[in-house]
Structure 1
Amino acid sequence: MPALPPQPISPLDGRYRAAVSALGDHLSEAGLNRARVHVEVEWLIYLTSHSMFGSSPLESEHVQQLRAFAANFGDLEINALAEIEAKTRHDVKAVEYLIRGELDRLGLGAIAELTHFACTSEDINNLSYAITVKAAVTQIWLPKLRHVVEKLAALAEHHKDAAMLSRTHGQPATPTTMGKELAVFVYRLQRVIAQLEASEYLGKFSGATGTFAAHLAADPGADWPLISREFVEGLGLTWNPLTTQIESHDWQAELYGRAAHANRILHNLATDIWTYISLGYFRQIPVPGATGSSTMPHKINPIRFENAEANLELSSALLDALSATLVTSRLQRDLTDSTTQRNIGVAFGHSLLALDNLERGLGEIALDEGALAADLDGNWEVLAEAIQTVIRAEVVAGRSTIADPYAVLKDLTRGHRVGPAELAEFVQGLEIGDEAKARLIALTPARYIGVAPALLRYLG
């Protein structure tokens, strides 16, 4: 059998590429290298703009050219970098040599030794990862999450009065509304989004073991911690003053933990929607040309929600692994984080794919209010809670002497189907006030929803 041409191993780079490709601009090897070039160039510009070691500020044209070189990092630079790395066997050193080559091309060879000055590889890497992860999360993943939540909030508002039977423990229970149940997920996700929006993206820039030793040897009079802070904050990051060779990655563990939390809430949403579909509460809207089953023509399978479930599980597993692994480093440095961090894009890719499926799935369902009404009408025994609670209140008010109202209703309804006529007859015979009796007789399962529609006002 002839060998196939090179194929992607991950489905994110194959079957699902269209849904997640935007992450590749940041959370890919090329995206990381572009960020590395950006950091190296900005450090060079910083040093020369402060006339460090007798250098002079670069002409504005040269500054623009260097920044354009970083911003326009593309196929040409990717290939050139690959050729250099094939010789250096070191990715960050290859970036340094690539920039030195650009300096020579621009006639700036005299300042070439300021490239990667006093830096360890991790000074460049940790800032590059912080830049790329921040961009991917804030520009791509979070906006997609917000959009799904907005769509869910619109559905919650639209169905806020749609009474339905609850299913605590999978059994008929006190009615609610579909809108209120969807709003629960909106509220949960809004809280996590607020936490994600408050995330810090930390960076260190302090040399081989975080002591500024080489920096101080080169210029004992400079305030290197201040210089480091200015540089890191100038990149839009939060400065970490106390590190080993690496930035400790605690911010990453926090971020990935919150992202995994969001994933799990979304997973809960997917399983609930799937269950509502199986109960007939939601009908799936046929997509023209789509096939549900290869043998059963009638079927419309809830594949969007099933796909989302699977991808959220994969994403959460990877995010959990990242969180657990990245917070530990042997003494001042080991390389366990290097391989681990190369999977950040995979973790967010599976989550982004899940969000895409949830967004589509939520747009392909319609509430069957007839099914909701029929289910409510078949379960009048759920009013037992209301009746026994009203009796308790009547006993406290001195209008009833019924002993153990809960037991009375339990005997009437537990394991039994009770219809409206039977309940009305039962209520008529109760020793309670006329007003309470009238309220209970007027109650139906569809009306027994408390203040469910009004609770949506608590959404952000």
Structure 2
Amino acid sequence: MMSSTAKLLKMDEHSRYKTPLSSRYASEEMAYNFSDMKKFSTWRKLWLTLAEAERALGLNISDEQIKEMKANIDNIDFDMAAKEEKATRHDVMAHVHTFAACCPKAAPIIHLGATSCYVGDNTDLIMLRDGFNILLSKLARCIHCLEKFAETYRFLPTLGFTHMQPAQLTTVGKRACLWVADLLTDLKNLERARNNLKFRGVKGTTGTQASFLQLFEGNEEKVKQLDELVTEMSGFQSAYLICGQTYSRKVDVDCLCVLASLGASAHKICTDIRLLASLKEVEEPFEKSQIGSSAMPYKRNPMRSERCCSLARHLMTLVTDPLHTASVQWMERTLDDSANRRICLAEAFLTADIVLNLLQNISEGLVVYPKVIERHIHQELPFMASENIIMEMVKSGGNRQECHEKIRVLSQLAAAVVKEDGGANDLVQRIKEDSYFSPIHSVLDKLLDPISFVGRAPQQVKEFLEQEVQPALGPYREQLTKESVLNV
């Protein structure tokens, strides 16, 4: 029989657990952003940047050493790095040794004066920034899809719902604007979180820059210049002036808070769509060969919206990780943040990426059924129109209290037909057949026109799209036409 060890050696990719976030759902660009290749090649770029900046400020680093490092940025021996880490139990030193093995001339100056967080934290900040850029483009596309949907249906009346009970009419487009308004808040929050990111820069072991002050023989100005130069060369406008060994883990909290808030928005939108699908008023896209149920062939389950809600819940819970981590960072730092951050930061961005891919796909293909919406309106509108009917009767010389009682009685009879007999709402027909209401029979149909019950909803949609949505989408105009791609 094959031993357990032999079985493990023969395990292929289908015999090991892989997170569904990267293997099943996420886009290639976001999966790459948190990949080993992106991470460790960025470490090497940061070591190169540090060496170039130190050389520019007078340290004895040769052109040959710089060229050697440049030539080996992507030449990563992952097997060697894994063996080194197993031996040293230190991921950064494992990669210092691996980089030095292919850069023998540069080996003496790799990581000169730096602490592990120079590459670790700065790389995290780069990946967070790049992750936000990926998400912002996708979020803008979701808003754009729903913007077009809202404009298309801004005049289509539909039942409003409060407490999930029929309420005053709104329009399909106005309801979509409620969704867009939340996403617009998320767009601004993500932009703020990205723009607030700074570089850790070169701060040394406990953030005092003592090692660099020693390298430059007490020259504080050169130490400050080194920090500024490395920050600029790495694509950031500024670095945190104060940090311990790490940048404050409150930064992670801020980043994941805005992603959790985005998750709440997506969950709300997709829950609405699932409820509307149950009413058969609005449906997410459903492909010709798609199967809704393995047992019930007729079903058209809102699987995209359900998946979006499922992943959005995961996204909302991830913010607890950095909150706890930030609260227990003893003094200048403690290492119990490391393993946790490896998981929660990547998972939050991967999950947000998938949620937005799904939301865009849903928004691109929303199907509206006006006849079903109209039928539902006619089931409820007669009751909602009772006040308008009373007002019109008073204008024609009627008594308000007497009219109210007449309609109350007829409404109760009509409600009994609906609730007890399962019939259609016949209140309007009862009013038409009652001679008491003869003064308004000629205008009754006009009083019951659904569009007269939506207030300023169509105008609100127009104003909102023009005044708030379109300006916010301005910076993303060139990216709005890219269609979504679902892996499964």
TM range (shorter): 0.7 to 0.9
**Could you say which residue in structure 2 is the equivalent of 1:136?**
131
The answer to whether residue 100 in structure 2 is matched with residue 93 in structure 1 is no
Q: Deviations over 1:253-285 (max 9, x none)?
A: 112111111110010000000111100102455
How far apart are the structure 1 equivalents of 2:43 and 2:409? Answer: 73
- Choose 199-208 or 334-343, whichever is displaced more: 199-208
Letter in structure 2 aligned against 1:360: N
**Could you say which residue in structure 2 is the equivalent of 1:34?**
41
**Could you say which residue in structure 2 is the equivalent of 1:207?**
204
How far apart are the structure 1 equivalents of 2:197 and 2:109? Answer: 26
Change in CA separation of 1:27 and 1:158 when aligned onto 2, cut-off 3 Å:
same
Q: Deviations over 1:24-78 (max 9, x none)?
A: 32213332222211111110111112222xx25637xx756634532x35xx433
Change in CA separation of 1:164 and 1:215 when aligned onto 2, cut-off 3 Å:
same
Q: How does 1:42-81 map to 2 (within 5 A)?
A: 42-52=49-59, 55=60, 58=63, 63=66, 66-70=69-73, 72=74, 76-81=76-81
Letter in structure 2 aligned against 1:222: E
The answer to whether residue 454 in structure 2 is matched with residue 445 in structure 1 is no
How far apart are the structure 2 equivalents of 1:387 and 1:447? Answer: 10
Q: How does 1:405-420 map to 2 (within 5 A)?
A: 416=415, 419-420=427-428
Equivalent pairs, count: 436
Change in CA separation of 1:370 and 1:91 when aligned onto 2, cut-off 3 Å:
same
How far apart are the structure 2 equivalents of 1:339 and 1:276? Answer: 42
How far apart are the structure 2 equivalents of 1:35 and 1:386? Answer: 68
**Could you say which residue in structure 1 is the equivalent of 2:306?**
306
- Choose 250-259 or 323-332, whichever is displaced more: 323-332
Offset, 1:307: 0.6
Q: Deviations over 1:125-154 (max 9, x none)?
A: 11010011211221x222222222222222
Helix, strand or coil at the partner of 1:166: strand
Offset, 1:400: 10
Q: Deviations over 1:353-405 (max 9, x none)?
A: 222222333344410000011111111245358639979xx99xxx99968x9
Q: Deviations over 1:129-184 (max 9, x none)?
A: 0011211221x222222222222222112111111011111111111111111111
Alpha-carbon contact 1:45-1:58 (below 8 Å) kept: no
The answer to whether residue 21 in structure 2 is matched with residue 12 in structure 1 is yes
How far apart are the structure 1 equivalents of 2:44 and 2:435? Answer: 78
Change in CA separation of 1:322 and 1:409 when aligned onto 2, cut-off 3 Å:
farther
Letter in structure 2 aligned against 1:10: T
Change in CA separation of 1:423 and 1:226 when aligned onto 2, cut-off 3 Å:
farther
Change in CA separation of 1:425 and 1:35 when aligned onto 2, cut-off 3 Å:
farther
Change in CA separation of 1:150 and 1:228 when aligned onto 2, cut-off 3 Å:
same
Alpha-carbon contact 1:174-1:382 (below 8 Å) kept: no
Helix, strand or coil at the partner of 2:299: coil
**Could you say which residue in structure 2 is the equivalent of 1:256?**
256
How far apart are the structure 1 equivalents of 2:390 and 2:72? Answer: 73
**Could you say which residue in structure 2 is the equivalent of 1:124?**
119
Helix, strand or coil at the partner of 2:319: helix
Offset, 1:301: 1.0
**Could you say which residue in structure 2 is the equivalent of 1:230?**
229
CA-atom RMSD in angstroms:
3.4
Q: Deviations over 1:392-421 (max 9, x none)?
A: xx99xxx99968x99998888689467335
**Which of residues 162, 168, 187 in structure 2 aligns to 1:168?**
162
Offset, 1:212: 1.5
Alpha-carbon contact 2:179-2:269 (below 8 Å) kept: yes
Change in CA separation of 1:266 and 1:409 when aligned onto 2, cut-off 3 Å:
farther
**Which of residues 192, 200, 206 in structure 2 aligns to 1:198?**
192
Letter in structure 2 aligned against 1:144: K
Alpha-carbon contact 2:381-2:448 (below 8 Å) kept: no
Helix, strand or coil at the partner of 2:331: coil
Alpha-carbon contact 1:174-1:448 (below 8 Å) kept: yes
How far apart are the structure 1 equivalents of 2:436 and 2:108? Answer: 95
How far apart are the structure 1 equivalents of 2:135 and 2:363? Answer: 18
Letter in structure 2 aligned against 1:27: F
**Could you say which residue in structure 2 is the equivalent of 1:23?**
30
Alpha-carbon contact 2:46-2:119 (below 8 Å) kept: yes
Helix, strand or coil at the partner of 1:342: helix
Change in CA separation of 1:410 and 1:136 when aligned onto 2, cut-off 3 Å:
farther
Alpha-carbon contact 1:383-1:445 (below 8 Å) kept: no
Offset, 1:22: 2.4
TM-score when normalising by structure 2: 0.79
Alpha-carbon contact 1:24-1:31 (below 8 Å) kept: no
Change in CA separation of 1:166 and 1:82 when aligned onto 2, cut-off 3 Å:
same
TM-score when normalising by structure 1: 0.83
Alpha-carbon contact 1:88-1:94 (below 8 Å) kept: yes
Letter in structure 2 aligned against 1:225: K
**Could you say which residue in structure 1 is the equivalent of 2:472?**
none
Q: How does 1:295-444 map to 2 (within 5 A)?
A: 295-326=295-326, 328-343=328-343, 344-381=345-382, 383-384=384-385, 387=388, 416=415, 419-421=427-429, 442-444=447-449
Offset, 1:202: 2.4
Alpha-carbon contact 2:385-2:448 (below 8 Å) kept: no
- Choose 200-209 or 370-379, whichever is displaced more: 200-209
Change in CA separation of 1:375 and 1:287 when aligned onto 2, cut-off 3 Å:
same
Alpha-carbon contact 2:312-2:351 (below 8 Å) kept: yes
Letter in structure 2 aligned against 1:229: E
Helix, strand or coil at the partner of 2:111: coil
Helix, strand or coil at the partner of 1:83: helix
Helix, strand or coil at the partner of 1:277: helix
How far apart are the structure 2 equivalents of 1:85 and 1:410? Answer: 80
Alpha-carbon contact 1:253-1:322 (below 8 Å) kept: yes
Calculate percent identity across the aligned residue pairs: 20
How far apart are the structure 2 equivalents of 1:424 and 1:114? Answer: 93
How far apart are the structure 2 equivalents of 1:177 and 1:401? Answer: 33
Letter in structure 2 aligned against 1:201: L
